[in-house]
Amino acid sequence: MTNFLVGFLFLYNMARKTKDPGFGYSSKQNAQDIINDDGSSNVVHINRKRNINDLYTYFVDISWWHFFFLIIVTYTIINIFFAFIYVGIGIEQITKPKGVFLEDFFNGFFFSAQTLTTVGYGGIAPKGITANFVAAFEAMIGLLSFSFITGLLYGRFSKPKAKIKFSDNLILRKFKNERAIMFRLMNQRKTVMIEPEIKVTLSISEKDTKGEYKRIFYSLKLEREKIMYLPTIWTIVHQIDSNSPLYNYSNKEIQNLDAFLYILINYHEESFSQKVYQIYSYDFDKLAVNVKYVPAADFDEEGYTILDHDNLSKVEKMY
């Protein structure tokens, strides 16, 4: 029994335990993943101070539908605000009153839209001194707003981003007379990934002697951590040998681990002519055992390589 414990501790210490990679050692049972599947942070911030400098980062990072939704809502609110002003100072200062509030309001709204966008159809024009002052101020707001939006659009389009698709699952299978954990990735763009390099960290939450959950981090040794270029699919393999932190776990125990894989990959992106990074994570709940990935690349009749994106996560049973 003593020899068994000594051997276990020896193999355990051979695993490449690493210092906290930035996630913190503290944990709890069934803790949520720190990194979302899309690589974004899953950390909830409270009491965080904000300032005007955060606006650019916010608008560049939000989704496209959210971005355009905010633009449309803001544009509508500004026009409604100025429409009330024009009705308040007297709609006769820009056009002939209709005698109905709603019609006068819409005339003010559409005149505001023309002024804000500097379209100026000419059908309605400010006549009074007050209306001219309001229109001049609104035109200045319009110029500044559209300059701001143009800058944001450029920032969103020009921001270097990786476009890597990861398999939906992890697999645990026999590999070279041992076992291995694998996942696959591919470039969603048609460009070739130049010198992709990947690092994988395993996080295991375990209960210590005090009954508190602590995270333990391991830097996993991969079959290949860097390749010259990637035109198709890359299968990432961690062989569970005597140096692996998972060596002394059975397949069932590995499936039941409260564990995550944190992945950092970088490569030279041709579209932006610079290096880009992407973060991803896997929960061991996504682990499938004794299966293998089906081929995702094949050749057509003319000899061209065909890459099927739908097959990235498809698996089949091993017999």
Q: Higher-confidence residue: 12 or 188?
A: 188
Question: How high is the pLDDT of residue 7?
Answer: 46
**Is 91 a residue whose pLDDT tops 70?**
yes
151 and 135 together in one domain: yes
Instruction: Name the average pLDDT for the chain.
Output: 85
**Is 70 a residue whose pLDDT tops 90?**
yes
Other C-beta atoms lying within 10 Å of the C-beta of residue 141: 13
64 and 123 together in one domain: yes
Q: Which domain does 214 fall in, by range?
A: 2-43+161-317
Q: What is the pLDDT of residues 260-309, one digit of tens each?
A: 899 999 999 888 888 999 999 998 988 999 999 999 988 888 888 899 99
197 and 299 together in one domain: yes
**Is 101 a residue whose pLDDT tops 50?**
yes
Question: How high is the pLDDT of residue 25?
Answer: 52
3-state secondary structure the chain: CHHHHHHHHHHHHHCCEECCCCCCCECCCCCCCCECCCCCECCCCCCCCCCCCHHHHHHHHCCHHHHHHHHHHHHHHHHHHHHHHHHHHCHHHCCCCCCCHHHHHHHHHHHHHHHHCCCCCCCCCCCCHHHHHHHHHHHHHHHHHHHHHHHHHHHHHHCCCCCEEECCCEEEEEECCEEEEEEEEEECCCCCEEEEEEEEEEEEEEECCCCCEEEEEEECCCCCCECCEECCEEEEEEEECCCCCCCCCCHHHHHHCCEEEEEEEEEEECCCCEEEEEEEEEEHHHEEECEEECCCEEECCCCCEEECHHHCCCEEECC
**Is 95 a residue whose pLDDT tops 80?**
yes
Q: Which two tokens stand for residue 18?
A: 């690493």
9 and 109 together in one domain: no
Question: How high is the pLDDT of residue 13?
Answer: 45
Q: What is the pLDDT of residues 183-240, one digit of tens each?
A: 999 999 888 899 999 999 998 887 766 767 788 889 999 999 999 999 899 999 999 9
Share of the chain above pLDDT 90, in %: 54
Q: Higher-confidence residue: 29 or 283?
A: 283
Q: Higher-confidence residue: 289 or 46?
A: 289
**Is 158 a residue whose pLDDT tops 80?**
yes
192 and 93 together in one domain: no
Note whether 263 and 229 are within 8 A (CB). Answer: no
126 and 20 together in one domain: no
DSSP bridge partners of 229: 194
203 and 241 together in one domain: yes
